């Protein structure tokens, strides 16, 4: 049974829906770093304030205003409007002692990447538009990392074309169910990963999601939806799902 069918069998239940069409839709979101939002086209546009020459100071993270369960399907649309830069989604982000990642007891963050992969919280993060370095532009991949730490746990080929060739938003989907993580672009499975809960620490559970961009990328987002997943994603025969890693 394919993964999409298993998702349907898990009885996804919509628990959050945000069109990201206006400033009111992001009133409770938290921006860390020097970025700005606008909604001129009826979609949330994220763009930098500082140029890439400022290094990590030019990058930023936008946290959603909700905490989500461990087993979920996140869908959203994405359209890059410029070619260089990077787009990333943090998910299952939670303090190392179970705190909300936005808890004031955690150290302040201002967009520099080290604060996120080597800070006082745990998270998974998928970078799905990696066009900053020459080697990233020469070979497009999507990377899944697990933090704290800078652990690259899975890669997949990135099917997103150059920004100039994208004429409509792309449909992105991130599945997290138990120890399984899968990522899709326009219904194409880019990768799936089984976290053994040992190599890089315990399997992460619920927490916040956040969008990260690296300068000079300008990109649009819309139609953010999160579904809670119910029953197991095991196959009809009752066997555990098989993985290729």
What are the angstrom distances between the C-alpha of 215 and each of 36, 61, 112, 223?
Answer: 11, 11, 12, 23
What is the pTM for the complete model shown? 0.90
pLDDT at 22: 97
Q: Tokens at residue 205, please? A: 């559970």
Alpha helices per DSSP H over the chain:
3-9, 114-117, 134-138
Segment among 47-51, 212-216, 230-234 with least mean pLDDT: 230-234
Q: Check if the beta carbon of residue 69 is closer than 8 Å to that of residue 230.
A: no
Which structural domains are found in the chain, ordered by start? 3-228 (2.60.120.200)
Reading the block at residue 99, the tokens are: 């705190």
- Distance, C-alpha 44 to centroid of its chain: 16
- What does the pLDDT read at residue 231? 58
Identify the band that residue 3 occupies on the pLDDT scale cut at 50, 70 and 90: low
Kindly indicate the confidence band of residue 244, based on its pLDDT and cuts at 50, 70 and 90. Answer: very low
Task: Give me the residues paired with residue 211 across strands.
Answer: 62, 89
Instruction: Give the largest Cα separation in the chain, rounded.
Output: 55
pLDDT category, 241, cuts 50, 70, 90? very low
- Is residue 125 scored above 70 in pLDDT? yes
């Amino acid at each position: 049974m394919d993964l999409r069918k298993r998702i349907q069998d898990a009885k996804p239940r919509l628990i959050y829906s945000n069109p990201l069409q206006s400033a009111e839709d992001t009133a409770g979101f938290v921006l860390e770093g020097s970025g700005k939002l606008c909604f001129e086209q009826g979609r949330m546009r994220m763009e930098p304030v500082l140029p890439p020459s400022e290094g990590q100071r030019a990058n930023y993270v936008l946290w959603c205003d909700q905490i989500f369960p461990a087993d979920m399907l996140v869908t959203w649309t994405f359209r890059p409007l410029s070619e260089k830069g990077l787009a990333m989604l943090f998910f299952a982000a939670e303090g190392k002692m179970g705190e909300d990642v936005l808890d004031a007891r955690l150290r302040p963050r201002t967009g520099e990447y080290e604060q996120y992969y080597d800070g006082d919280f745990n998270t998974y993060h998928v970078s799905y538009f990696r066009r900053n370095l020459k080697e990233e532009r020469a070979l497009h991949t999507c990377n899944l990392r697990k933090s704290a730490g800078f652990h690259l746990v899975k890669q997949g080929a990135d099917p997103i074309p150059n920004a100039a060739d994208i004429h409509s938003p792309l449909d992105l989907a991130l599945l997290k169910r138990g120890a399984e993580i899968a990522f899709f672009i326009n219904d194409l499975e880019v990768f799936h990963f089984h976290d053994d809960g040992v190599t890089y620490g315990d399997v992460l559970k619920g927490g916040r999601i956040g969008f990260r961009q690296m300068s000079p990328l300008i990109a649009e987002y819309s139609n953010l939806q999160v579904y809670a997943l119910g029953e197991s994603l095991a196959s009809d025969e009752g066997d555990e799902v098989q993985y290729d890693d």
